[in-house]
Amino acid sequence: MPEGLIIKALSGFYYVLSDEIIYQCKGRGLFRKKKQTPLVGDYVIFEAANLTDGYVTELMPRKNELVRPPIANVDQALITVSAKKPPFNAKLLDRFLVLVEFHKIEPIILITKMDLVNKEEQETIDNYVENYRKLGYRVELLTNKGTANSHLFTELLKDKISVIAGQSGVGKSSFLNSLNPELTLETAEISSSLGRGKHTTRHVELIEILGGMVADTPGFSSLDFNQIELEQLPFCFREIKQYRSLCKFRGCMHVNEPKCAVKEALANGEIMEDRYSHYVEFYQEIKSRKPRY
């Protein structure tokens, strides 16, 4: 039986890509019995007598899975923030980074709408970019309008499953369109009264771009840290992870403890203040979460 990749799940059907052909399939009852739900990104075994009456019969083991957006086997996340409209938001960027690091997915940072910034805003952004690059992140500054961006990403997407994530209106669909002029993903002006996007993209679908599969998503609709336990948070910040073994106390959470190497690095300017203050905010957020039982 053939193998394929689920590229879209809609109204009870799974669309399975196999050898450049898409088969419309249903799930076999067996998934429900095993409490398995096929996801976009699942590699599957299926049978199909024709293009519209197939059945997914088996799911291959997953590398990882995200709940919102629902997608499996993600290799990397293109975290998208705009330089302007909506305004650059480092805290939101760090929120996405924490969620992506938590799932052990490689993040790539895209800063869009660079055509809109003035000199002063450019300097602020350059400063952040330098810091994020120091942490080892790949950061790209982009203009999606009237510019081809494909030359920057020829190797990046190839043979991988990527998701593009970010607030509504930052230009995710526009960016994907800029990689391939034949793509015509729907985009929309951000609302002038609210200054934010309209959630134009509504379902998750993998699209073939530059030799890889990319999911344009409606943004990570849920950006809460419900799955993350307090002890896991330091591991989601690369610089904290790097210094934590030097702290005096083994269970140091790098907030109130004495002889904390993270706070020393902060005082020496080796850790960016902004990042640390976001760490503390996220720490408080998780700490004040109601217990789940």
Ligand X SMILES: Nc1nc2c(ncn2[C@@H]2O[C@H](COP(=O)(O)OP(=O)(O)OP(=O)(O)O)[C@@H](O)[C@H]2O)c(=O)[nH]1
Instruction: List residues binding ligand X (CB under 6 A).
Output: 112-113, 115-116, 142-145, 166, 168-174, 187-190, 197-201, 218-219
Q: Contact between 167 and Mg ion (CB under 5 A)?
A: no
Instruction: Report the partner that residue 260 touches, choosing among Mg ion, Zn ion, ligand X, none (CB closer than 5 to 8 A by kind).
Output: Zn ion
* Residue 200 binds Mg ion, judged by CB under 5 A: yes
Tokens representing 67 are 């709940």
Nearest CA to 13 among 34, 38, 33? 38
82 binds Mg ion (CB under 5 A): no
Alpha carbons within 13 angstroms on the beta-carbon side of residue 256 total 2
Q: Which two tokens stand for residue 97?
A: 């980074």
Closer Cβ to ligand X, 203 or 238, answer by number: 203
Side chain identity at 226, as an amino acid letter?
Answer: N
Residues 84-143 binding Zn ion (CB under 5 A) are none
Q: Is 262 in the site for Zn ion (CB under 5 A)?
A: yes
Q: Is position 240 an interface residue for Zn ion (rule: CB under 5 A)?
A: no
d(CA 109, CA 97) in angstroms, rounded, equals 9
Query: Which H or E element spans position 240?
Result: helix 238-243
Write out the two tokens for 110: 């895209």
Cβ closer to Mg ion: 95 or 172?
Answer: 172
**For ligand X, the closer CB: 27 or 171:** 171
Q: Which is nearer to Mg ion, 172 or 254 (CB)?
A: 172
Cα(266)–Cα(260) distance, rounded to whole angstroms?
10
Contact residues toward Zn ion (CB under 5 A) are 247, 252, 254, 260, 262
